[in-house]
Amino acid sequence: MLTSQGCLKPALFGEKRSCSAFSLCLHVTRGFRKQSVATGQSQSTVCSSRELLEKPKRASPRTDTDFLCTPCGLPLPKRIHLELDESRLRVDGRVIIVGDIHGCCDEFLTLLKKCKYREDRDNLILVGDLVNKGPKSCEVLSEAVRLGAWAVRGNHDDGALMARTAFARNQEIDGRFQWVKNLQPEHLEYLNSLPFTIFLPSHHVLVVHAGLLPGVKLDRQKLDHMYTMRDVVLHRKTKTFEARQIPCKNSTRWASKWTGPEHAIFGHDAIRKIQKFPLATGIDSGCVYGNKLTACILPSPASMQDSLKGPVTRKKLRMKMVSVKAKEVYERPKPFANDGA
């Protein structure tokens, strides 16, 4: 979101503790305040963390059009929630869903080879955080574009777009985002198009980067929750859940409380690695931290007709998991750090 003077303002959605997207925005653009002072711009054009946190919360959105921008203050994609029915998929090809790549392009290509991925037949979906932290973010994007891969938006993907916007406006960006200067037009077009969820009606599978609030309809899910949350806290009086980015004493993993009806496949939670719950599967196995890159393989849409009745479990989906080891440790993990990790 741009002010009248042209400064980028991070936009907050959701409650105060779920603020990884906010922290990432401040991290990317930490030079904005210093620059505004140097150029003599009014201080009112730059939001401080206290000013942002004191803003009143937005009402829960009812439809996609109720959102004005992404949590990083960027234009919304054409579709917040994308449905891939059989008219948009290769019905005779498998569905391969890959966890958080984070710029680990070599491991990504090795994983596809191990999965025996067929470019002209299979369907490829990425769970977000394609970029940042690892050594080859632009190369990952080039491969995603070349392969025609579908992907959901991760917090680091949104953060990269924000950093690129700052760079285009000659504003200072943080050191770990310097690679965005090399983004090509096709990379930007791809990142800007990323939805927050992808639904596969043939499999009754919902792909999201981080999480979904149990008991809340998809069109009422908050954008920052979908790419930052890890846990939920149950309110005893209202019997409703509140999202948490950072686990706390009374929180539990959101996926353990997910009741569907879709089977959710997600990433983002590398510290906990592979997660398996009755109706949710987490596939971020921390490749960028020197662990593994993981994919889950689902049968072709054509083979799933009339095979899913009742709860959609991994057994009914005939889900297979494939992993490859990281070539090296690219970054040391910070357990549940609130910096967009």
Tokens of 33: 């305040």
Note the pLDDT tens digit of each residue in 66-87.
Answer: 568 899 889 999 999 999 999 9
CA-based radius of gyration for the chain: 19
Tokens of 63: 């439809």
Query: pLDDT band for position 49 (50/70/90)?
Result: very low
Backbone angles phi, psi at 311, to 5 degrees: -55, 135
Q: Give just the sign of the alpha carbon dihedral 143, 148, 154, 155.
A: positive
Residue 161's H or E segment, with its range, is helix 155-168
Reading phi first (left if > 0) and then psi (alpha if -120 to 50, else beta), residue 94 is in beta
Residue 249, Cα to own-chain centre: how many angstroms? 25
Task: Look at 88 and 333; give whichever has higher pLDDT.
Answer: 88
The reported pTM is 0.82
Tokens of 4: 């009248």
The CA distance from 114 to 210, in Å, is: 25
Q: Is the pLDDT of residue 43 over 70?
A: no
Note the pLDDT tens digit of each residue in 269-291.
Answer: 999 999 999 999 999 999 999 99
Residue-level pLDDT at 3? 34
SS3 221: coil
Task: Look at 37 and 26; give whichever has higher pLDDT.
Answer: 26
